[in-house]
Amino acid sequence: MRIRRARLDELEFSLVEPFETSFGVERRRRFLLLTLESETGEEGFAECVASRDPAYSSETTETARWMLSRYLLPFVLTARTIDARRFALAADRWRGHRMAKAVVEMALADLEAKRRSLPLYRWLGGRRTRVEVGVSVGIQPDPRTLVRRVGEYLSAGYRRVKLKVRPGWDATPLARVRKEYPDLRLWVDANQAYPPTARSRIVRWATAHNVEQVEQPFPERALHAHAALVATAKFRVCLDESIVDTTSLTEAIELRALTSLNVKPGRVAGLHAARTLQAQAARAHIPAWVGGMLETGVGRAHGIHLATLPNFRLPGDLSASDRYYADELIDRPFVLGSDSTLEVPRGPGIGVDVDARSRRRHLVRSRSFGQ
């Protein structure tokens, strides 16, 4: 197919409550929404997961906009024929910028599935029509507030809860939550907050409070430290930021540095890369799950479709629409089912449309490319 036009919108949404991690606090999310229009008039949508500030990643909305405007969108618009797979292969000529590449690849995937009248999950090779999800809870002002928030999410129907932790906010809040909810399926995520020397301390509090999974406790390149944790832990050790491609996953598998894998398509250059990583993990008998990055409904839709693939066996961070935003970007918000699942949209492509009024309300600036 050929791409006739591209539209790059910068939007800003307020979160329903501050979301605090070891990187800092987010109250508003500024992100890029890409719309690609084919020569026959269909539109494909995707959102870039890069944040305004270089905290979680070196990529930001500014670097992504520059990469998209200078290289990626001109390439797509001048290609005689293009699809998601061809783009992913061609984009390897430019180093890095995985989040910028991902938004183009995912918009092309949405467009390609629509042109074939297929829901995206069928186009990807998935089969499930509902996917199990959990909820991620940021660092709270105090343990009492944390316990209350966890209780509210459990009442809403979530069965798996992931708590953000960091040095100084781990053992005590975990103890309070576990005491109140002894049967809770409990995960934690450190976002690289601990030095490798903290391994014994992590094992103590994670074991004492029956934590099922500890995610990315050490810096992304500290694979040997993660391997040492795997060797002594009775809980799963999950890698996220450490895994950016098949090479990094191969190294981690060879070192036995993980027993679970978090895959975020917007972080690893798109859906094809994410599908490859989950298949590679499956061959090593490592379960995977789909992570989230505070996406609106567009990004969440892509993640839900991806989560239907076979090795996404653990509940993902793909919460219902009202978890993060009171005002959604899509026309049909995602609603949590009583079994802690979300329904996979059945329509062509991602199966949801961008709500034009919501886009106008939250628009910061916009630029069009092409005819």
Three-state secondary structure of 224-256: HHHHHHHHHCCCEEEECCCCCCHHHHHHHHHHC
The tens digit of pLDDT for each residue in 103-155 reads: 999 999 999 999 999 999 999 999 999 999 999 999 999 999 999 999 999 99
Instruction: Determine what percent of the chain is predicted with pLDDT higher than 70.
Output: 100
pLDDT value of position 24: 87
Both structure tokens of 315: 């509940």
Residue 293 pLDDT greater than 80, yes or no: yes
Across the range 229-236, mean pLDDT stands at 97
66 φψ region: left (φ > 0), alpha (ψ -120 to 50), beta (else)? alpha
Residue 55 pLDDT greater than 90, yes or no: no
The CA radius of gyration of the chain, in Å to the nearest whole number, is 20
pLDDT value of position 2: 96
Residue 361 pLDDT greater than 90, yes or no: yes
Residue 323 CB partners (closer than 8 Å, separation 6+): 16, 135
Angle at 354 between CA 353 and CA 358, to 5 degrees: 145
Across the range 252-279, mean pLDDT stands at 98
Q: What are phi and psi of 24, to 5 degrees?
A: 145, -165
CB-based burial label for 144 (10 Å; 0-12, 13-18, 19+): exposed
pLDDT value of position 371: 74
Domain residue spans of the chain: 3-117+355-370, 123-343
Catalytic positions: 164, 264
Note whether 3-117+355-370 and 123-343 share their fold.
no
Per the document, the length of the chain is 371
Cβ distance 320 to 136 under 8 Å? no
Cβ distance 143 to 130 under 8 Å? no
Q: Measured between alpha carbons, how far is 239 from 259 in angstroms, rounded to an integer? A: 8
CB-based burial label for 326 (10 Å; 0-12, 13-18, 19+): exposed
Three-state secondary structure readout of 276-313:
HHHHHHHHCCCCEEECCCCCCHHHHHHHHHHCCCCCEC
Cβ distance 265 to 289 under 8 Å? no
CATH fourth-level superfamily of 123-343? Enolase-like C-terminal domain (3.20.20.120)
pTM of the predicted protein model: 0.96
Instruction: Determine what percent of the chain is predicted with pLDDT higher than 90.
Output: 98
Q: How many CA atoms lie within 13 A of 106 on its CB side?
A: 34
The tens digit of pLDDT for each residue in 21-31 reads: 988 899 999 99
The tens digit of pLDDT for each residue in 59-98 reads: 999 999 999 999 999 999 999 999 999 999 999 999 999 9
CATH topology (fold) of 3-117+355-370: Enolase-like; domain 1 (3.30.390)
Closest CA to 208 of 169, 175, 236, 165: 175
Residue 220 pLDDT greater than 80, yes or no: yes
Closest CA to 347 of 151, 134, 122, 11: 122
Cβ distance 117 to 111 under 8 Å? no
pLDDT value of position 8: 98
Query: Could you write out the DSSP letters of every residue in 34-80?
Result: EEEEETTS-EEEEEE--BSSSSS-S-BHHHHHHHIIIIIHHHHHH-S
The tens digit of pLDDT for each residue in 178-214 reads: 999 999 999 999 999 999 999 999 999 999 999 999 9
The DSSP bridge pattern shows strands 213-215 and 288-290 to be: unpaired
